Amino acid sequence: MSNTKKQNPLQSMVKRPKRLETRLIIWVTGLCVLQAVLFGGLVYQITAQSLHNHIGDKALAVATSIASSDEVVKALKNPSNLVAINQEIENLRQLTDADFIVIGDKNAHRIAHPDSNKLGKRMVGGDSQAALRGERYISVAQGSLGESIRGKVPVYDEQQNIIGLVSVGFLVQSVEPLIRARIVEIMIWGLLLVALSIIAAIFIGQRVRNAIFGLQPDEIARLFSEQDAILNTMRSGVIALDPDGRVRKLTQRACEILDKPAACSNKSLTLKDLLPEHAEFLLRNQRRKMVGFELFAADKRLVLSRFSLQVQGQADGILLTLRPADELEYLSQQLTKVQAFAELLRVQTHDYSNKLNLIGALIQMGKNEQAIELIGQESQGSQAQIHHLLERIQDPVLAGLLVGKYHKARELNVVLELNPDSLLGAIERTEMLERVVSILGNLIDNAIDAAIRASEERTPYVRVTVDETSQTLLFDVEDSGFGLGSDHEVIFTPQYSSKSGAEHGIGLYLVKTNLDSCGGSLEIGESDLKGARLSVYIPK
């Protein structure tokens, strides 16, 4: 039984792609060989033609010189002493390296020839009649000695009558070694060129591989196809940009979100073409990461994230992902409720832990009456605050937000008061509620921070007023901080912040963005708490 291992048919059908260096060697070598063959053939033709022309010119010059010789004229007029003229012609042939010199009379019969047996016979080749008519020319013909390159010249007497012709020739077979010598020289240079090309191909292949992270062309193609497939299956739109804002990659989903269906076929887009109002901001501080940033574009609210692209540790542009906010609203609303509830539980847990420690200490000290009194005060105060909020704010999401902010402020030793005149019903529109939560939450956070910064001069205090009319929602937030100064425009830019840290500087910008998206307005004034007063009006 044979032990030969059978090859998998799939393995025999699928060939492993050649390496980049191998491909370059094959391509460059093939190109060089093709060039060498074409160039060698061309040089062969040019060399052969050049040699033929040179030899023909030489033959014609020798024939002209002999035809003008007095001895030749005398020999043609009186061919009695042919031995002497043949000896003289043979000496000239050896001196000029010609293969033959033939002299014929006016009837083309030979009177001088290297082979004495052919004297008196008619010249062959069929190319002598033109010379007997007075023409000087070069011809290639088959003669008695073989194929040759000939120079033929008529011979004239003193009265300028044609009395014969001179034919000087070089055999073609004697020219071929000269041509072959040139071809060998060309082949040597061609082989040297091919060898140098192979070395260059190996060097270039290694440099190219290093530049493309050691990947082979088929691996790059596969990665590109995989990346394209992954990006086009994402629900988020993806935009890849170079540091100057030129678009490198734009997915079909991004074009759909931005309502620019023709953008995907445009190869010279910039970020200003896609997001003209936000391009300048998004191209600043490119190393800074932004996640879940809201902006208004293409007549819709978008949730955008920005990431820095790094190539070998160097910044090489940014990557933007964007998605319509309405796709995330339901999840965001649920998350807002959970976050508010978690914040409330965290603050209350911390606060109650301190109170329980105090109550436990009072009981251990035997001061039971003081412990009971403290329990009553805590229960009454907390219940009163929550009851007041739920009574005045009928929307559970906003009520939860305010309760969470109340306990956060309390933990930071900031007094947060809800104006007793506040009154607000439930907000039915989910989109409107999401914007209100973002606006009011950011305003309160900024007010708490402002009050804390002025805590060395006065008790940190924040007052919130919530109200509504038949057509408008009103939110008024006051603080005991230092105020906002006179330049109100700059505080709503993404870069503005009176605090340090990457997480700061976009709170009021988000307020403005949400207000712009819902057609609201904001007024800035001074509060009787000696800080700022921000009043927001949102149409229902």
Closest to 101 (Cα-Cα) out of 66, 127, 54: 66
Q: Class of the 234-327 domain?
A: alpha beta
Output b/e per residue, 110-138; b: 16+ Cβ within 10 A: bbbbbeeeebeeebbbebbeebbeeeeeb
Task: Look at residue 496 in the predicted model and tell me its pLDDT.
Answer: 47
Q: Where are the domains of the chain?
A: 25-178, 234-327, 384-539
Category of 489 on φ-ψ map: left (φ > 0), alpha (ψ -120 to 50) or beta = alpha
Give me the half-sphere count of Cα atoms (radius 13 Å) on the Cβ side of residue 343: 19
Please answer whether residues 532 and 469 qualify as being in contact, where contact means their C-beta atoms are separated by less than 8 angstroms.
Answer: no
Question: Nearest 5 degrees, angle CA 137-CA 44-CA 34?
Answer: 150
The span from the CA of 423 to the CA of 390, in Å, is 10
| pLDDT of 492 | 67
What's the fold here for domain 25-178? Answer: Beta-Lactamase (3.30.450)
Opening angle at CA 429, ends 426 and 435, nearest 5: 95
Q: For residue 397, which amino acid is it? A: V
Q: Give the separation between CA 513 and CA 522, rounded to whole angstroms.
A: 11
- CA–CA distances in Å: residue 413 to residues 234, 462, 538: 45, 11, 31
Residue among 355, 290, 354 nearest 320 (CA): 290
Beta strand ranges found along 419-531 (DSSP E): 461-468, 472-479, 521-526
Candidates 506, 149, 489, 469; CA nearest to 295 is: 506
Residue by residue, DSSP assigns 291-306 as EEEEEEETTEEEEEEE
pLDDT of res. 505: 39
Q: What is the per-residue pLDDT for 44?
A: 80
Q: Decide: residue 367, CB within 10 A, 0-12 exposed, 13-18 middle, 19+ buried.
A: middle
Q: What is the mean pLDDT of each run of 10 residues along the chain (540 residues)?
A: 45 54 80 82 83 90 90 84 84 88 90 85 84 90 82 91 92 81 80 83 81 78 82 87 92 90 84 91 89 86 90 85 76 64 67 74 80 66 67 87 86 90 87 87 91 93 94 95 72 53 52 86 91 92
Please check whether the two domains, 25-178 and 384-539, share a CATH topology.
no
Distance CA(5)–CA(8), nearest Å, equals 9
Task: Quote the CA–CA distance of 494 and 272 in Å, as a whole number.
Answer: 18
Give the C-alpha separation, 143 to 147, whole Å.
6
pLDDT of residue 385: 66
Total-model pTM? 0.41
- Cα separation of 430 and 328, whole Å? 11
* Phi, psi of 160, deg, nearest 5: 65, 30
Per-residue pLDDT, 88: 87
pLDDT at 263: 81
- The answer to whether residues 531 and 479 touch, using CB atoms and an 8 Å cutoff, is yes
CATH number belonging to domain 384-539? 3.30.565.10
